[in-house]
Every structure is written in structure tokens, then in C-alpha cells.
């Protein structure tokens, strides 16, 4: 089920949280809303879910072409996973997952044994077999997250919305769960929209990345497009790992650390190169990072493989020539 | 804690001095009075003790106290739940003012809380009994008619009689109103910080899962606040039964009629009937002990629940 968002605005008091935002989320895609805190990404997600109302006006939200703006949250067929999971802490895992089915009107409610079967099917799907009797507080963060996911999926939602799905997890679990969620999405093929402030997460996980800033959408595209062709200095910088350099002619240029080549100072080519001195050298791990000071006093980070570093035999204080084709923004 | 090598501890003499002082204060100010109440009550024997509790005026005072609590506790439970839900789940103009107003009965002296009602319903007040009788006359007619119906007329007899001669001051309704006012904040005060801390996440999750308001309340909100709610109800009840000041102002101390248990004790005491006064006081002391006992049980249970919350 595709989601189309048409000129949605949202004002809290005098603060404009969303300013005329429009977005297409293709059917079956995994789309990331990426932005710093306060950019409006969570507000947009909550409006899609029906947990928040958009300002009156021409704004529309279409699920597969059908306007759902006046449909209450409970009837939108949306699965929502909260940042801190919001599990019902007085209920067992099984009761949590079954909740959405047990609150259906009597005429639509499946019989008890069907609910039980569905709960077990979902537990299997999220790889939590056998934990049905546990209480939320007896689970790890990653397990809770998957219970929240199973609970949201129990009602067979048309779209899945996740608010900072990995925000409350530690780095190791976060990485594992990220891969798992990607595979999971490919398996069930549900249109999914998730919010994150972590650019690495968005780029690795999503089919489509929506970069938000100051209540507006800054750029929409595939991770590749966003990374290779940032449309604004903000996107460039927000995706991280970028050197912002001023050329002798005064133009601002952005260049990523891995796009800079390091050669011996003796091979200096005045047309393409700058002379730089190595200030710091971090070489733990497969990629080494050099922090260099250019002849005009600017600093830049350079990434190169350990092998290159070893071949060059560089150390702190050495003078080198750096070579790049920095993009102008 | 008793490990003398703990870094934050003091030297032995200082510790002994502080502990002695603390125990002395505890004995002198808390345990001794409690002991005195029971000792004094039983000084003239078990028969006198029981007789003091079962005489007509004492029974009537106990009944009135139970009635005042039976009305004010459910009312204020309902009110406290609604108020806490309103101020923790919604942001609106005047919210801060409302929170302050909820605390008003805590802030004003109980005597003032009583005098307010005298000012409104007293014979020289804004709504004196004569005016009230006039205003309520239509209801009195309806109630009298209902009282004469065959099936359940008995239910309306008391109401009809009161509507014909509506009095708040120096009568049971005044005592109930004063008690309701005084015990207004207990449940709300207990629930507001709890519900604020829990946030609306679980309720929102229930909304997205298709649950309606009523079901969310019973299945999500209430189970999460039940121990806090019980705690608030307990404190509310203790105060409703023990309130003296406000009730004293509106009661008029009509023996056997408008005396609650605390007022009855005061009357007995002023009449130098010490054994009887203390016998009745044991009831309030027992109420206090039971309240404290239940409170610590509740704290332990809710502490366990909170520990599992994360």
C-alpha cells in the first residue's frame, strides 16, 4: 500500500513543526525519514499514523489513493512501533501481541484459539519462540523491540511505521537488528516508513531516504543518490564525514575523506594538489584516518586503506601532497 | 549499612550519639503517644472501654464518620482520576492554574474550608436554608411523589424529607461537603506525578491497535496506575475519617446527630470523660496503623512493579 503525503503542515502553538510537506512512499518500499532532532520527522510519522492531526487546509494523506485524514488512528490499519516500544508492562508478551485482536468488536474478533495461533506465528516470525509468557521487563532491549513489532503486525496493518526503531539499543544489537529488519522487510514486503537521526542507519537500511530539515523536506532519493549527489550543503554535512574547504578563489567546496588521495610531497602537482602536513594519524582498524593541515591553515580528514598507509610509510609531521576533485555546492 | 568500614560513616561515638538521639525522638514523639492512647483507653478496664464504644452517641459518631468517608472517597477517586487524566494527557490554557486549584484544599487551613460553607449555606449566607428551600421546592415535590410510589419509595423518603427542609450547616450534608472538599486533592496528587512519568505512550499504542477509550482505560491506563490509585484512596480515606477542623465548623456538635468520631472525642474530652475519649481515639489510632500497614505493603508491591518498568 503506497502512502502519498500532500502539502501537510503542522503548528504547535506558534512553532511550525511541518511546513507544507509532500512525499511519496512507494508500495512495498522501506523509506527512512532522516534528520536532526526538531526537523519534524517524528511529527510527520505521527500524522501519518493518526496520532497527531495536521493543520486544517488542503493537506491530504492518501493510503493507496484513499484520503485517510479524517480516519481515526485505530481504523487506519497502521502498525506503529514506538521509540521506547510502549509495551503494556502489566501484560505477558503473548497478551501484548494479542491486544489488537482482542479489542476488535465481537463480530470481527477471531476465536481464542485463532488468536493464540496468530500470536505463536508472530512470535516465530520475530524469532521469539517460547517467550510468550514473559513480561516485558524480563526481556532485553532487542527482544522488546521485536515484541513491539509483532504486536504492531498482529492487526495485519497496511503500512508499518517505526519511530527511531534502534534509538534505545546499544551499538552491537543495533547493527544486528538493522540487518534483521532489512531481511524481515524483504520477506513480508510491507510498506514501511521509519524515523531516524542516524545517517548510517538510513543509508544502510532504506530503499528511499528522505532528508528533513527545519520542518521541510530537503532531499528525497535512494541512499546512493543522497550520498553521491547531495543537493545542499546541509545534506552534505548531515550525511557526515565531509571536509568543507575554501579554495584560494574563495569558493566553498565539499570533499569526502575517502575521495582525497595522498601522494609524496615530491610528486606535488601545482594544478591539482595542495601541500599538507600530517597532524594526527589514527590507524586502528582496516581504514586509516589522517588529519592534515593545509598550507593555508585549513584542516582536512583523509581516509586511506592500511595498505596504502603502509606503502607510503607516513608518520605524524610528514609533509605530503593531497589530490582531489572536490565538488562545488 | 552496619559495616563500620563504609566510607561515608562517622566515628563510633558520633554514631552512637546520633542513633540514641534518633531513637529517643522516635520513642518520645511517635510511639509514646500511641502507647498512651491505648493505655489510657484501657485504664478503667475492658468493660468501660467497650461501653464507651457502644453507647448511642459513639455509635452515631462512628456511623456518621463512615458515611462521610463512604461518600467522599468514591467521589474524590472519580474526581482524582479525571483530573489526573486531564492534566497529564492534555495541554491546554489554564492547565497550571487547574493544578494549583487542585491543591487548594491542602493550602488553606481546614477552619477556613469549613467557614466557606457556613458563608455560603449558613442562615446569613448567600444561599440560606430559606432560599434553598424555595429553589429546591420543585425537586422536593418530585421526590415526595417518588417516595409515595409503591415499589421503591423507601429509597426516596430521606431525600424528600431533606429537600423539604434543606440544611447544610449543622447537618449531615454539610459534614459530607466539608469532608469532600478537604479530601479533594489526595487521589489526584498521587496520580498526577505517576501518570506524568508514565507518559501516554502505552495509551497511544493501544489507540493505533484499534482500542476505544473505555477499553484503553480499563486495560491499559488503570492497570498501570492501580497501586498509586489505591494508595491515594487509602490516604483520602484516612483523612476523610480523621478530619477535624473543617467538619468542626459546619457540624455544630449536636451530640448523637452531627458529631463525627473526631468531634465526638473532643466533646468527651472536654467533659472530662477521658477513658471514653481515649477509647474512641483507639479507633482512629487503629485506622492510622492499618493505613500505614497497607501503605507499606502497597509501596512494596508498586516498588516491585516499578523496578520491572525500566
pLDDT band at A325 (very low <50, low <70, confident <90, very high): low
Q: Which domain holds residue B142?
A: 125-167
B92 touches chain A (CB under 8 A): no
Of the listed ranges A27-36, A183-192, B94-103, B157-166, the one predicted with least confidence: B157-166
Q: Of A296, A292, A288, A267, which Cα lies nearest the Cα of A278?
A: A292
Q: Considering only CA atoms, which of B63, B64, B76 is closest in space to residue B236?
A: B76
Describe the strand order of the beta sheet including A30-34 as a list of residue ranges.
A78-81, A159-163, A191-196, A30-34, A208-213, A216-221
**Would you call B276 helix, strand, or coil by DSSP?**
helix
A226, A193: one domain: yes
A-chain residues near B224 (CB < 8 A): 89-90
Q: What is the pLDDT of residues B154-205, one digit of tens each?
A: 667 777 777 777 777 888 888 999 999 999 999 999 999 999 998 899 999 9
B64 and B109 together in one domain: yes
Pair A55, A198 in one domain: yes
Of B232, B154, B138, nearest to B190 by C-alpha is B232
| Burial of B38 per CB tally in 10 Å (0-12, 13-18, 19+) | middle
Residues B102 and B243 in one domain: yes
Per the CB < 8 Å rule, is B202 touching A104?
no
Q: What is the mean pLDDT of residues B107-127?
A: 86
- With cut-offs at 50, 70 and 90, classify the pLDDT of residue B308: very low
**Does residue B239 share a domain with residue B137?**
no
The mean-pLDDT minimum among A208-212, A238-242, B245-249 falls in A238-242
Report the distance separating Cα B153 and Cα B160, nearest Å: 10
Query: Quick one: closest CA in A to B310, which residue?
Result: A137
Q: Looking at the structure, do residues A174 and A311 belong to the same domain, yes or no?
A: no
- Whole-number Å distance between alpha carbons of A180 and A149: 12
* Pairwise pLDDT comparison (A267 vs A160), residue with the higher score: A160
Strand A273-282 with A287-294, pairing: antiparallel
Decide if pLDDT at A329 tops 50: no
Average pLDDT value for residue range B120-137: 82
pLDDT given at position B310? 40
Do A209 and A303 share a domain, yes or no?
Answer: no
**One domain for residues A91 and A146:** yes
Q: Residues 269-328, chain A: which have Cβ within 8 Å of B? A: none
Q: Tell me, what's the pLDDT at B202?
A: 94
Query: What sign for the dihedral angle of Cα A26, A28, A29, A35?
Result: positive
My answer on whether B89 and B217 are in the same domain is: yes
> Which residue among A51, A89, A99 sits closest to B204, beta carbon to beta carbon?
A51
Same domain? For A198 and A94 the reply is yes
User: Is residue B210 less than 8 Å (CB to CB) from chain A?
Assistant: yes
Per-residue pLDDT tens for A100-157?
999 998 888 999 999 999 999 999 988 899 999 999 999 998 899 999 999 999 999 9
Same domain for B218 and B303? yes
B202 touches chain A (CB under 8 A): yes
Scanning A265-326, the segments in alpha helix (DSSP H) are: 306-312
Indicate the average pLDDT of chain B. Answer: 87
Q: Are residues A135 and A170 in the same domain?
A: yes
Neighbours of A263 (CB within 10 A): 14
CATH number for the domain that contains residue A290: 2.40.50.100
Which residues in chain A belong to E strands, given as ranges?
Answer: 3-12, 15-25, 30-34, 60-63, 66-67, 78-81, 159-163, 191-196, 208-213, 216-221, 243-246, 252-255, 261-264, 273-282, 287-294, 299-305, 319-323, 327-328
**Residues A93 and A134: beta-carbon distance below 8 Å:** yes
Please tell me the predicted confidence (pLDDT) of residue B305. Answer: 60
Residue A48 confidence class, pLDDT cut points 50, 70, 90: very high
Name the pLDDT band for B234 (thresholds 50, 70, 90). Answer: very high
For residues A279 and A316, the answer to whether their CB atoms sit within 8 Å is yes
Does A163 share its domain with A187?
yes
B211 and A87 in contact by Cβ < 8 A? no
Report the distance separating Cα A309 and Cα A208, nearest Å. 35
Whether B195 and B88 have beta carbons less than 8 Å apart is answered as yes
Do residues B300 and B180 share a domain?
Answer: yes
**Residue A69 shares a structural domain with residue A209:** yes
A253 or B99: which leads in pLDDT: B99
CATH of the domain at B284: 1.10.3720.10
Residue whose grid cell is 608518520: A315
Are residues B205 and A103, on separate chains, in Cβ contact within 8 Å? no
CB contact under 8 Å between B201 and A152, yes or no, is no
Place of cell 609533509: A319
Residue at which a domain ends, from A214, A237, A260:
A237
Whole-number Å distance between alpha carbons of B106 and A58 = 49
Q: Based on the fold, state whether residues B190 and B269 are members of the same structural domain.
A: yes
Phi, psi (rounded to 5 degrees) for A86: 50, 40
Residues A93 and A167 reside in one and the same domain = yes
Of A74, A86, A148, nearest to B210 by CB-CB distance is A74
Q: Is B276 on the interface with A (CB under 8 A)?
A: no
Please compute, for residue A157, the number of CA atoms within 13 A of its CA located in the half-sphere on the CB side.
Answer: 31
Sorting pLDDT into bands at 50, 70 and 90, what band is B4?
low
Q: Determine whether the interchain pair B211/A89 forms a contact, defined as Cβ–Cβ distance below 8 Å.
A: no
Quick: pLDDT tens for B197-209: 988 999 999 999 9
- More confident position, A175 or A8: A8
pLDDT of B309 over the 50 cut:
no
Q: A276-290 pLDDT, tens per residue? A: 899 998 888 888 888
For residue A265, give the C-alpha cell: 610531497
Do B179 and B277 belong together in one domain? yes
What are the residues facing A292 on neighbouring strands? A278, A300
Region B45-58: mean pLDDT is 88
When pLDDT is cut at 50, 70 and 90, the band that residue A85 belongs to is: very high
The residue in chain A having the minimum alpha-carbon distance to the alpha carbon of residue B304 is: A137
Report the gap between the CA of A204 and the closest CA in chain B (Å): 28
pLDDT tens sequence across A207-223: 999 999 999 999 999 99
Q: How many domains does chain A have?
A: 2
For A74, nearest residue in chain B (alpha carbons):
B210
B152 and B298 both lie in a single domain: no
Check whether residue B111 and residue B231 sit in a common domain: yes
Last residue in a domain, options A237, A266, A296: A237
Categorize the per-residue pLDDT at A30 as very low, low, confident or very high, splitting at 50, 70 and 90.
very high
Domain that holds residue A223: 3-237
B24 lies in the same domain as B138: no
Same domain? For B24 and B61 the reply is: no
Q: How many domains does chain B have?
A: 3
Which of residues A183, A204, A237 is at a domain's end?
Answer: A237
C-alpha distance from residue A42 to each of A39, A48, A231, B67, B89 (Å): 8, 10, 23, 51, 19
Q: Which residues of B touch A160 (CB under 8 A)?
A: none
Read off the CATH number of the domain in which A155 is found. Answer: 3.40.50.300
Binary contact (B208, A49; C-beta < 8 A): yes
Amino acid at each position: 500500500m503506497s502512502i502519498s503525503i500532500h502539502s501537510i503542515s503542522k503548528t504547535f502553538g506558534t512553532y511550525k513543526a511541518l511546513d507544507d510537506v509532500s512525499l511519496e512512499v512507494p508500495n512495498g518500499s522501506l523509506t527512512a525519514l532522516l534528520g536532526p532532532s526538531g526537523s519534524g520527522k517524528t511529527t510527520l510519522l505521527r500524522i501519518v499514523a493518526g496520532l497527531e492531526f495536521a493543520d486544517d487546509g488542503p493537506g491530504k494523506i492518501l493510503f493507496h489513493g484513499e484520503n485517510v485524514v479524517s480516519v481515526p488512528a485505530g481504523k487506519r490499519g497502521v502498525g506503529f512501533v514506538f521509540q521506547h516500544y510502549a509495551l503494556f508492562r502489566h501484560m505477558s508478551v503473548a497478551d501484548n501481541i494479542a491486544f489488537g485482536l482482542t479489542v476488535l468488536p465481537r463480530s470481527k474478533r477471531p476465536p481464542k484459539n485463532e488468536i493464540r495461533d496468530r500470536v505463536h506465528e508472530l512470535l516465530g516470525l520475530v524469532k521469539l519462540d517460547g517467550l510468550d509468557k514473559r513480561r516485558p521487563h524480563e526481556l532485553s532491549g532487542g527482544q522488546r523491540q521485536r515484541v513491539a513489532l509483532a504486536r504492531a503486525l498482529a492487526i495485519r496493518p497496511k503500512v508499518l511505521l517505526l519511530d527511531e526503531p534502534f534509538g534505545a539499543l546499544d551499538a552491537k544489537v543495533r547493527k544486528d537488528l538493522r540487518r534483521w529488519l532489512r531481511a524481515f522487510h524483504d520477506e513480508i514486503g510491507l510498506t514501511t516508513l521509519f524515523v531516524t537521526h542516524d545517517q548510517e542507519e538510513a543509508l544502510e537500511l532504506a530503499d528511499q531516504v528522505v532528508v528533513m530539515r527545519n520542518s521541510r523536506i530537503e532531499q528525497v532519493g535512494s541512499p546512493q543518490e543522497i550520498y553521491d549527489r547531495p543537493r545542499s550543503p546541509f545534506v552534505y554535512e548531515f550525511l557526515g564525514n565531509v571536509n568543507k574547504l575554501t579554495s584560494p578563489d574563495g569558493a566553498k567546496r565539499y570533499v569526502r575523506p575517502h575521495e582525497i588521495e595522498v601522494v609524496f610531497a615530491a610528486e606535488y602537482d601545482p594544478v591539482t594538489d595542495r601541500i599538507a602536513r600530517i597532524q594526527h594519524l589514527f590507524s586502528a582498524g582496516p581504514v586509516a584516518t589522517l588529519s592534515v593541515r593545509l598550507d593555508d591553515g585549513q584542516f582536512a580528514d583523509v581516509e586511506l586503506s592500511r595498505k596504502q598507509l603502509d606503502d607510503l610509510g607516513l608518520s605524524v609531521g610528514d609533509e605530503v601532497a593531497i589530490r582531489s576533485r572536490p565538488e562545488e555546492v | 549499612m552496619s559495616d563500620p568500614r563504609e566510607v561515608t560513616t562517622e566515628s563510633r561515638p558520633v554514631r552512637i550519639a546520633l542513633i540514641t538521639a534518633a531513637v529517643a525522638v522516635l520513642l518520645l514523639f511517635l510511639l509514646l503517644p500511641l502507647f498512651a492512647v491505648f493505655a489510657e483507653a484501657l485504664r478503667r478496664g475492658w468493660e468501660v472501654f467497650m461501653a464507651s464504644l457502644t453507647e448511642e452517641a459513639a455509635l452515631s459518631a462512628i456511623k456518621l464518620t463512615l458515611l462521610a468517608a463512604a461518600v467522599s472517597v468514591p467521589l474524590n477517586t472519580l474526581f482524582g482520576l479525571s483530573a489526573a487524566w486531564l492534566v497529564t494527557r492534555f495541554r491546554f490554557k489554564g492547565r497550571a492554574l487547574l493544578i494549583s486549584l487542585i491543591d487548594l484544599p491542602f493550602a488553606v487551613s481546614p477552619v477556613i474550608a469549613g467557614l466557606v460553607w457556613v458563608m455560603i449555606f449558613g442562615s446569613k449566607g448567600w444561599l440560606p436554608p430559606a432560599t434553598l428551600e424555595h429553589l429546591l421546592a420543585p425537586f422536593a415535590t418530585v421526590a415526595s411523589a417518588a417516595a409515595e410510589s409503591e415499589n421503591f419509595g423507601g429509597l426516596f423518603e430521606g431525600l424528600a424529607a431533606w429537600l423539604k427542609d434543606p440544611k447544610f450547616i449543622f447537618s449531615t450534608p454539610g459534614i459530607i461537603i466539608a469532608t469532600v472538599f478537604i479530601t479533594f486533592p489526595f487521589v489526584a496528587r498521587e496520580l498526577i506525578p505517576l501518570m506524568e512519568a508514565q507518559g501516554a505512550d502505552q495509551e497511544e499504542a493501544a489507540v493505533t491497535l484499534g482500542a476505544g477509550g473505555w477499553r484503553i482505560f480499563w486495560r491499559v491506563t488503570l492497570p498501570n496506575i492501580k497501586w498509586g490509585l489505591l494508595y491515594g484512596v487509602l490516604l483520602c480515606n484516612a483523612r476523610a475519617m480523621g478530619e477535624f477542623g473543617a467538619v468542626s465548623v459546619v457540624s455544630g456538635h449536636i451530640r448523637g446527630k452531627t458529631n463525627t468520631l473526631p468531634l465526638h472525642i473532643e466533646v468527651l474530652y472536654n467533659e472530662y470523660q477521658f477513658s471514653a475519649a481515649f477509647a474512641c481515639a483507639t479507633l482512629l489510632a487503629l485506622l492510622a496503623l492499618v493505613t500505614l500497614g497497607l501503605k507499606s505493603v502497597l509501596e512494596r508491591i508498586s516498588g516491585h512493579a516499578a523496578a520491572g518498568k525500566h
